[in-house]
Amino acid sequence: MHIKISSQFKEKCPQFKGAKISATIINTPYCEALWEEIDAFTHILRSTETTESIKNHPVIQATRDGYKACGKQPSRYRPSSEALRRRLLRNLDLYQIDTMVDIVNLVSLTSGHSIGGFDADYIEGDTLTLDIGKEHELYTGIGRGDLNIANMPVYRDQKGGVGTPTSDHERTKIRIETTHFLGLINGFDGNISRLKNAADQLAELLKKHASARHIDIMFYE
């Protein structure tokens, strides 16, 4: 899978860097060991952060700035990493979906990066292009229905949008039967060290909890 960045997006977010992770995995409905890690991070987050301090996280702040540069208000369409942290800090439990989605959510929570997680077998073609959403562009977010992605960062395949830092698309979402995983880590801050740490953490969790094989990591900008 090739990743391209449109000239329009580069103009708005010149510092952006991303990481692509692909792997063959075995998904499961629930992983107790993974949730022990999630619960441990939840305890740390709730004891050290508040809903007001979230925006000071450098990666989340950079993602919010990227939304503004593209013309989208991040307070109305929150990036997923910010939304997940806010949920925990409102003393709500994290949604338990399946092991693969839960892994992606944990890395997003700990790193601050908004991460797209996809079933690669449902992506049309061999190229994804990171661009900016258009007015009236059709997009069905997972569990959100029709989502207004105008002026929002969006990855598109040959058929249309598959992922935004706010919500991935129903068409390419991870399923319990997913075996070919594709992850996209969005680094709006341009910090390659933070991006690599998040990619390494994701790869390690895939091996540990999803029996991952053939893991491949690539950075793009």
Cβ proximity of 168 and 80 under 8 Å: no
Q: Indicate the burial class of 52 (C-beta count within 10 angstroms; 0-12, 13-18, 19 or more).
A: exposed
What one-character-per-residue DSSP string does 30-47 give? Answer: --HHHHHHHHHHHHHHHH
Work out the percent of the chain whose per-residue pLDDT is above 70.
100
Task: Read off the pLDDT band of 199 (50, 70, 90).
Answer: very high
Using CA atoms, how far apart are residues 78 and 55, in angstroms rounded to an integer? 11
Q: How many domains does the chain have?
A: 1
Work out the percent of the chain whose per-residue pLDDT is above 90.
98
Whether 159 shows a pLDDT value over 90: the answer reads yes
Using CA atoms, how far apart are residues 42 and 177, in angstroms rounded to an integer? 28
Q: What is the pLDDT of residues 88-101, one digit of tens each?
A: 999 999 999 999 99
What pLDDT shows up at residue 55? Answer: 87
CATH of the domain at 156: 3.50.40.10
Q: What is the pLDDT of residues 27-40, one digit of tens each?
A: 999 999 999 999 99
Whether 151 shows a pLDDT value over 90: the answer reads yes
Tokens found for residue 109? 């929570």
Query: Which residues lie across from 118 on neighbouring strands?
Result: 173, 182
Q: What is the mean pLDDT of residues 132-142?
A: 96
Task: Read off the pLDDT band of 154 (50, 70, 90).
Answer: very high
What one-character-per-residue DSSP string does 157-189 give? Answer: -SSSEEE-SS-BBGGGB--TT--EEEEEEEETT
Query: What are the backbone dihedrals phi and psi of residue 4, each rounded to the nearest 5 degrees, phi first?
Result: -120, 155
Given the DSSP bridges, would you call strands 213-220 and 17-24 parallel, antiparallel or unpaired?
Answer: antiparallel
Amino acid identity, residue 100? Answer: M
What pLDDT shows up at residue 108? Answer: 98
Q: What is the mean pLDDT of residues 168-186?
A: 98
Using CA atoms, how far apart are residues 52 and 38, in angstroms rounded to an integer? 22
Task: Read off the pLDDT band of 85 (50, 70, 90).
Answer: very high
What pLDDT shows up at residue 209? Answer: 98
Across the chain, what does the average pLDDT equal?
97
What pLDDT shows up at residue 179? Answer: 98
Per the structure, the complete domain to which residue 8 belongs is given by 2-220
Q: By C-alpha distance, which of 190, 202, 175, 57 is closest to 120? A: 175
Q: What is the mean pLDDT of residues 160-179?
A: 98
Task: Read off the pLDDT band of 178 (50, 70, 90).
Answer: very high
Amino acid identity, residue 181? Answer: F
